[in-house]
Amino acid sequence: MILYEEILREFQKKKVKYILAGGIAFNLLGGNRNTLDMDILVEMTDKNLRKVAAILKKAGYRVKLPVDPIMLSDKNTREDWIKNKHMKAFNFYKGEWTYEEVDIIIDSPVNFNDAYKKAIRKKINGVGLSIISPKDFIKMKKASGREQDLKDIKELKIVRKDL
């Protein structure tokens, strides 16, 4: 069993366009770090976001903000949240006393469509995964500039010979 397997299976079944990013992607790319949440980039269309929201809701997740998650599909709304609320990701959580959280990254230096074409496709336990490419992963981590992200870049460059 992999973390968030139930959600990832549903993403596959419903043909959700997403890319794993963050700690889970880091581990799948060859790094080694404890992580509990799932960070994803998604295609920001009404159809795709409706699928994501429905899957997460069915799995018992809810949003922290008092807004409808479909509002993510509106570019002006996203830009307002990024600019005026300094939002980087839209969070879904399973409960107050659990680690299970899914962050939809809304402020990324990586264009989803470009990253989706370059994403690594991998199957684990019969679940097809879309994983951000190492170069796009590094681009995202450099942009954040956080200490942990800079450590991830260093480690990834050590374990991957293609960087």
Distance CA 103, CA 55 (A): 14
Residue 145 CA from chain centroid, whole number: 18
The pTM (predicted TM-score) of the whole model is: 0.91
Distance CA 60, CA 45 (A): 23
Sequence spans of domains, the chain: 5-154
pLDDT tens digits, 128-160 = 999 999 999 999 999 988 899 999 999 999 998
pLDDT tens digits, 34-56 = 888 999 999 998 899 989 999 99
Cα angle for residues 75, 72, 139 (degrees, 5° grid):
75
| Residue 116's pLDDT band (cuts 50, 70, 90) | very high
Which has the minimum average pLDDT: 11-20, 66-75, 84-93, 109-118?
A: 66-75
Q: What is the CATH number of domain 5-154?
A: 3.30.460.40
Q: With 70 as the cut, is the pLDDT of residue 1 above it?
A: no
